[in-house]
Amino acid sequence: MADLRYRPSVMHSLVEMVRMRVFGILAGYPDQNDHDTLRSDPVFKLVAGRSLDEDDLASQPTLSRFENAIDVKSLLRLRDVFLDQFIASFDKPPTRITLDIDPFDDPTHGGQQLTFFHGYYRQHQYLPRLITCAENDLMVMLCLLFGTAHAALGADDDLEYLVSRLREAFPGVRIVLRADSGFGVPAMYTICEKLEIDYTIGIGMNPTLKKWSEALLEHCVEQFEATCQPQRKFCAF
């Protein structure tokens, strides 16, 4: 994010305000209003990079203007920062990268922008979507979706960009995608085939699947009743 503010009037650097918000959240103070008190706290001044005898940290209105000034280009650059760190985490080029993609609910309280009531989670929320690597448990890519968004919204575009970056960094790497049934939509199958990556995507129960799997399920029940052992069976349709 470029600092386009009028330099002679700048009292709080971007790095300082990022530190304020990050350490505030870590300490259990996620609301900007909390910083009206925290801005003069000695510990927070030190972790934000100010000495105790300097002026107070940024006020709530200043933090609000800072966060609202973040644009799409800034978010895309932040995406690349995380991706660059992930690529740099490998001591040697990997032969396989397994990507797990999944959304999770982020409950909200109040009138935040683009927070909506989600019928499945039964709460007002945002819906962040996370891509992680199974081999090292590192975060690869994060996307914040509005509260009622479909989990797969824009995931095909994210995947296409991610795969291109990984293949540029690690030519010949085998890429495997794993996702639950929330990503079982045509756009995801299409992009996986286009990119020629391996993928495992769950399928929600439906009449056709139930019909095809009926005999297998009956066999599992019989085996469980006979052995009292959990059953795991596989078949191809």
The 10s digit of each residue's pLDDT in 16-42 is: 988 999 999 898 888 888 888 889 899
Quick one: angle between helices 14-26 and 60-68, nearest 10? Answer: 110
Residue scoring higher pLDDT (85 or 109): 85
Residue 215 to residues 28, 181, 192, 204: CA-CA distances in angstroms?
52, 22, 30, 18
Long-range own/partner contacts, residues 64-72 (CB < 8 A, 24 or more apart): 64/32, 66/14, 66/17, 67/21, 67/32, 69/1, 70/1, 71/1
Residue from 181, 177, 178, 123 nearest 148 by CA: 123
Locate 194 and state its tokens.
Answer: 């286009």
The 10s digit of each residue's pLDDT in 109-151 is: 877 788 899 888 899 999 999 999 999 999 999 998 999 999 9
> Model-level pTM?
0.75
Please give the Cα distance from 110 to 97 (Å, whole number): 40
So what's the pLDDT on residue 1?
A: 55
Quick one: angle between helices 72-88 and 155-169, nearest 10? Answer: 40
